[in-house]
Amino acid sequence: KQEVTQIPAALSVPEGENLVLNCSFTDSAIYNLQWFRQDPGKGLTSLLLIQSSQREQTSGRLNASLDKSSGRSTLYIAASQPGDSATYLCAVNNNDMRFGAGTRLTVKP
């Protein structure tokens, strides 16, 4: 059974810092991995999707990497802003999508 773990559960940083969020998974036979953002009281918004054959994806200040063999992915956020404050979830897809519990990020002005 696929298990997805995200560390840390919560992170607080000052504005302008670069930061890394971690996601690990137990079954490397995945089709893809996605990173989502969830704002309080809202649904999830897809940020980046990495196919199993890819090593990384970039969108603006966000960069996601995937190391399938070691069961790890990272989400790198450059020059963090208060508007980045949200919960970030990763989800891995092998026939069905399994989510981690998320990292709650606070960026302080």
Partner 1 sequence: NAGVTQTPKFRILKIGQSMTLQCTQDMNHNYMYWYRQDPGMGLKLIYYSVGAGITDKGEVPNGYNVSRSTTEDFPLRLELAAPSQTSVYFCASSYEGGSSGNTIYFGEGSWLTVV
Using CB under 8 A as the criterion, which residues of the chain lie in contact with partner 1 when the complex forms?
Answer: 4, 9, 31-32, 34, 41-46, 49, 51, 89, 91, 93, 95-102
Nearer to partner 1, 29 or 79 (CB): 29
> Looking at beta carbons only, is 84 or 88 nearer to partner 1?
88
Task: Count CA within 13 A, CB hemisphere, residue 61.
Answer: 12
**Residue 86 token pair:** 């949200």
Nearer to partner 1, 76 or 99 (CB): 99
How far apart are CB 69 and partner 1 at their closest, in Å? 19
- What is the DSSP code string of 7-75? E-SEEEEETT--EEEEEEES----SEEEEEEE-TTS-EEEEEEEETT-SEEEETTEEEEEETTTTEEEE
Q: What minimum distance in Å lies between the beta carbon of 35 and partner 1?
A: 12
